[in-house]
Structure 1
Amino acid sequence: MKINCIIVDDEIHARKILEKYITDIPHVKLIKSCKNALEAMEILRTQTIDAMFLDINMPKLTGLNFLESLKNPPIVVITTAYREYAVDAYELDVIDYLHKPIPFPRFIKAISKIEEKLQIRNNHPLVTQEKTEYTAQNFIFIKADKKTIKLNFEDIKYIEGLGDYIKIHTKSKIIISKLTIKKMVDLLPENRFPRVHKSFIISLDLIDSIEGNQIQIQEQKIPIGQIYRQSFIDLINTFLKK
């Protein structure tokens, strides 16, 4: 899932920090770094923006006043040196409130919240062209244990996220790779490998049963996360209707 975003902040140092953070995350694209709300308004009018990192104290038009003026705002993360505006900001339905100076791990958490919000908004992650190509091939290549390993889709039972690593449970072995679970979402065909929890992707082909908020795949029970539940149910229902 690609995230198109803008920065709106009158402080050049603050913009530079956020610009660096964004360039370090491959699936997040910075469309524009704006020094005021009026500049951002023009970008929002002409381009599709998923998320906006918005400062509060700016000349001419404050961040909160700017946000109040938008009929259909993107997902908003407030970035500010002032804590006292948090209540007002959340009343405007911002998804996160980052206090400057912003540590990179805290910024990553905000990105995760944006991704979850976009998934809910779209019902499920978008299927990219890359996924379509892999679907036709029925395999991908990944790096693991200092080797390049061919991973056949039919062998995957489920994938477990472990921070910056993943544990791939196959029919014959477990593979640990330095990939994030979000990267695997991008690599695998979503119609065969839905993400059902922040820490789990499962093989639709190998589900034995579904009961309540749990999926049974052989001996393993896998939880269904709340924000992924509806998209997973919708996917299952497409088969029930056939």
Structure 2
Amino acid sequence: MMIKCVIIDDEPLAIEIIQTYLERLSDFELSACFTSAVDALTYVQKNKIDLLFLDIEMPLFNGLEFAKTLNYNPAIIMTTAYRDYAVESFELNVVDYLLKPIGFQRFISATSKVIKIISEIPPATEKTDLSNFTGEDEDLWVKVDKKLIRIAINDILYIESLKDYVRVKTKNRELVTYSSLNKILEKLPESKFLRIHKSFIAAVKKIETIEGNRVTIDGKILPLGRIFKEELIKKTQD
């Protein structure tokens, strides 16, 4: 499957460099380039893109604001000359954060992450709405490769959004199924799970540390959105 890309950067030279790098990679197809985020918005909203190379510092409408306005969740690689936006970028669950000038090896590292994420998503023919499946209160049923799989709710560490799919992570395995975080959250006991970020649901009792805009679960650092932090703190004190 070709990964459809769009480059948005107000520097033509930066676009040219990324375009040259993409031409060396067989898995990526460049759909469009824009020097204005405003001009790019309509195109990206109407055409489902797999990957955005998104500059941050742009006139009128910066890359962070652009990412927040999208009506779906493409993979995003931020490209910028500034380190200052790294934390805010990862709060948006970007795949990677590339500092200019971007070297080819660093570019390969970032795009390899995108390939890995997309390869974990089941084919479109396997799409099944998770809300069709119910089970006991202590189980979550997911459909993967035409099989219904039962997951003990107490085993779940966190659930991550992957565009039109979600990844359910337990201590010993991870499963990817066609669903949304909202639909998954409806199936989980409110006392045990909480949305901690636009792209993550966490098992509250599995959270090991809360520090600033991050939490740690089973040694993995996950982003903690500002609007969810207060509710999480309340739950930990119940």
TM-score (structure 1 length as normaliser): 0.50
Shift of 1:119: 2.3
Q: Which amino acid aligns with 2:53?
A: F
Partner amino acid for 2:122?
N
Superposition RMSD in Å: 2.6
Is there any run of 5+ residues in structure 2 with no aligned partner, and where?
126-144, 146-170, 177-238
Deviations 1:176-214 (A, max 9, x none): xxxxxxxxxxxxxxx9xxxxxxxxxxxxxxxxxxxxxxx
Aligned length: 133
SS at match of 1:25: coil
Instruction: Rate the CA distance shift 1:125–1:69 in 2: closer, same or farther, 3 A.
Output: closer
Instruction: Map Cα deviations across residues 91-127 of structure 1 (whole Å, 9 max, x no partner).
Output: 011110000000001111111111111123x23699x
Shift of 1:86: 0.0
Which SS does the other structure have where 1:10 is aligned?
coil
* Partner residue in 1 for 2:188: none
Q: How much does 1:36 deviate?
A: 1.3
Provide the rounded CA distance (Å) in 2 between the counterparts of 1:95 and 1:39: 23
Change (3 A) 1:72 1:94: same
Distance 2:37 2:112 in 1: 25
Structure 2 CA distance, aligned partners of 1:93 and 1:229?
A: 18
- Contact preservation (8 Å) 1:123, 1:230: no
Shift of 1:38: 1.5
What's 1:19 paired with?
A: 19
Question: In structure 1, what is the equivalent of residue 227 of structure 2?
Answer: none
1:68 aligned residue: 68
- Any stretches of 5+ residues in structure 1 without a counterpart? 127-190, 192-225, 232-242
Is structure 2 residue 99 aligned with structure 1 residue 99? yes
For the pair 1:123 / 2:122, whether they are aligned, the reply is yes
Instruction: Please say if residues 9 and 35 of structure 1, whose CA atoms lie closer than 8 Å, have aligned partners that are also in contact.
Output: yes
Return the offset for 1:17: 0.2
**Cα offset for 1:68?**
1.3
- Tell me which residue corresponds to 2:233: none
1:27-70 deviation line (CA, Å, top 9, x unaligned): 20000011111122122122121000000000110101111112
The correspondence of residues 15-164 of structure 1 with structure 2, limited to 5 A, is 15-120=15-120, 122-123=121-122
CA distance in 1, matches of 2:9, 2:68: 17
- What is aligned with 1:162? none
1:214-225 → structure 2 map (5 Å cutoff): none
Give 2:87's aligned amino acid.
V
Q: Kindly, what percent of the aligned residue pairs are identical?
A: 38
Aligned mates of 1:118, 1:64 — CA distance in 2: 22
Structure 1 runs of 4+ with >4 Å offset: none
Secondary structure of 1:42's counterpart equals helix
CA contact (8 A) 1:119 1:125 kept: no
State whether residues 8 and 34 of structure 1, in contact with CA within 8 Å, keep that contact through their aligned partners in structure 2: yes
Relative to the length of structure 2, the TM-score reads 0.51
